[in-house]
Structure 1
Amino acid sequence: MTDERALRVSVWASAAFGVLALVWGVLSGSRLIVFDGLYSFAAVGLTLLAVLALRTARRGPDERYPWGREAWEPLAVVLKAAALAGLCLYALVGAVVEIVDGPTPIAVGSALVYGVVSTVAGLAITLVLRRLSRGGSDLVRAEAAEWAGDTLLSVGVLVGFAVAWVLTLTGRPEWAAYVDPVMVVLASGAFLPVPARLVVRGVRELLSMAPDDEVLAGLRAEVAAVAGERGYGESVVRASKVGGRLDVEVDFVVPASATVAELDEVRAALLDRLGTTSLTVGFTADRRWIV
């Protein structure tokens, strides 16, 4: 239940941030703070989608889903990341239009205070979620990455409004007005790689592609160890990661004299070493059947 607890923390924190940012942004006239609020509200709905996907995945296999429901997890990650990327692009275009048309003045002092509050609070939530995500699902790790990106946005808000405050104090309020839309452009552009990476990772899982090289290398090392213990000359490892499930298929070339009892011992040894619940092991005396 740690995953759901982490997602609930994210939902309530996002809702609080959304209300705070929208009210503060409207009162101060800052497009950047309003963008921060819209981002937080979007995160609320998308996190609820993540909770639904997590509960669905945990229902396990049945006649309708014979291999399990883990694909709902990467699907939720892809939808969430794509929506956040769209919001960033919308903010980016709006800020560029405002720069071209001429920005409107904002309450710099109020906006600077918001930057301090949002940065400190965002950092705190990020640290909490990272702690809860250790050993958790990809959904929780995606949530922690999202909050890390939002904290970077808050840092951008703080730095930008600090610059605007200095410009105002030095008698250049017309220049200070450009800081808000420029920071929207920089912040939204800097944050776009985060959902982009999540989309790529989620699509890889939906397409049942191989896991990271590090994971695959670890699997091959364990299989090679078992093959070496048994004196088998060759083995082939295939794997794919879908949500929290790691599907592994191992094929061995074995002597024709191998008994069923010996082969079952190999299966047991592999299951003990790999620790995966989705393991298929094949044996053949003819190399051509494992190509």
Structure 2
Amino acid sequence: MEWSARFPDARALLVSVWVSAGFAVVSLAWGLVIGSQLIVFDGLYSFAGVGLSLLAVLALRTARKGPDERYPWGREVWEPLTIVIKAVALGGLCIYALIGAIGELLRGGREVAAGWAVLYAILATGAGLVVSLYLRRRGGQGSDLVRAEAAEWMGDTLLSLGVLAGFALALVLERIGHSDAARYVDPGMVALISAAFLRVPARLLVSGLREVLTMSPEPAISEQLRSRVRDVECRYRFAESFLRTSKVGSRLDIEIDFVVDTASKAQNVREFDAVRQDLHDLLQPLGYEKSMIVSFTADRRWAL
């Protein structure tokens, strides 16, 4: 608890863990009692979220330990690695649910107590919206793990909205005497929603793999870096500059090479250190931990 108080990101993730645990128990019990495959799927998804959220807390704690002899560049790679694991697990669950739903449809559907299902969907949608908005606010200035958690909750909220619409349709069909058609609503919604929801883990997987593979960061971050490096290049009249960067968790790895000629305003070690300080000050507002190497050469082949 003391550690989570020191790190708001961890506290936000723990809130997600506790809410997911309570939500999972209620969903599974409710779904089994009324015979809804979709609500059971919602509960299983929440149970998976509990384990993955705990893994995210552990990864965040590990990443914040910083560099040492074993991890000379830091442990931030644990953050995107956890996002990849989360994406694979949730994607697998969605595929499993999709296959099961198709089987139910082929067997003639499933009878569900639609009135109780509608009540569940209303409560689930409200709870999911509150938690996702809370995590989005925390993630705006926090780690990628919190933003990934917020995306997961928002996806779950959209799922609950789909559940609400579907069960409302089933209730109407029952009331107007089309119970046979209503039997297809529950497995039909599982198939549609699990297929649509695959977007969330797919997006998380792509973003996590980019960082695990140390690819360049998203265009918005890259452009901010290039703009600041160009400013320094012009200010000190360097012949050229070369920027290489990648984002790993909450850390930006940056290598900047300046080509120096006779017209450049920085020509010695002290002046080069002044350039480094200017770069540090310009990049500080980006809000990431930075591992930065700045080099200077009179021969551009050493910068390529």
- The TM-score range, normalised by the shorter chain, is over 0.9
- Which residue pairs with 2:277 in the alignment? 268
Match of 2:96 among 87, 90, 93: 90
Match of 2:42 among 17, 36, 40: 36
Q: Which amino acid aligns with 2:39?
A: I
- Which residue pairs with 1:172 in the alignment? 178
SS for the counterpart of 1:266 is: helix
Match of 1:76 among 50, 63, 82: 82
Residues in 2 aligned to 1:145 and 1:104: alpha-carbon distance in whole angstroms: 30
SS for the counterpart of 1:239 is: strand
Deviates more, 1:141-150 or 1:101-110: 101-110
Deviation digits for residues 27-59 of structure 1, max 9, x if unmatched?
110000000000000000000000000000011
Question: Are residue 281 (structure 1) and residue 294 (structure 2) matched?
Answer: yes
Q: Which amino acid aligns with 1:130?
A: R
Question: Are residue 209 (structure 1) and residue 209 (structure 2) matched?
Answer: no
Match of 1:48 among 42, 46, 54: 54
Residues in 2 aligned to 1:18 and 1:253: alpha-carbon distance in whole angstroms: 58
- Which residue pairs with 2:255 in the alignment? 249
- Which residue pairs with 2:140 in the alignment? 134
- Which residue pairs with 2:303 in the alignment? 290
- Which residue pairs with 2:27 in the alignment? 21
Question: Are residue 150 (structure 1) and residue 156 (structure 2) matched?
Answer: yes
- Which residue pairs with 1:12 in the alignment? 18
Give the TM-score, by structure 1 length: 0.98
Alignment map for 1:62-73 (pairs within 5 Å): 62-73=68-79
1:67 to partner: Cα distance: 0.3
Question: Are residue 189 (structure 1) and residue 195 (structure 2) matched?
Answer: yes
Residues in 1 aligned to 2:32 and 2:252: alpha-carbon distance in whole angstroms: 47
List gaps (5 residues or longer) in structure 1.
none
Residues in 2 aligned to 1:228 and 1:71: alpha-carbon distance in whole angstroms: 34
Deviates more, 1:3-12 or 1:274-283: 274-283
Residues in 2 aligned to 1:137 and 1:104: alpha-carbon distance in whole angstroms: 42
The number of residue pairs the alignment matches comes to 291
Q: Retained in 1: the 8 A contact 2:110–2:186? A: no
CA RMSD after TM alignment: 0.9
1:289 to partner: Cα distance: 1.0
Give the TM-score, by structure 2 length: 0.94
Runs of 4+ in 1 over 6 A off after TM superposition: none
Residues in 2 aligned to 1:272 and 1:132: alpha-carbon distance in whole angstroms: 25
Q: Retained in 1: the 8 A contact 2:173–2:182? A: yes
Residues in 2 aligned to 1:213 and 1:6: alpha-carbon distance in whole angstroms: 28
List gaps (5 residues or longer) in structure 2.
1-6
1:214 to partner: Cα distance: 1.2
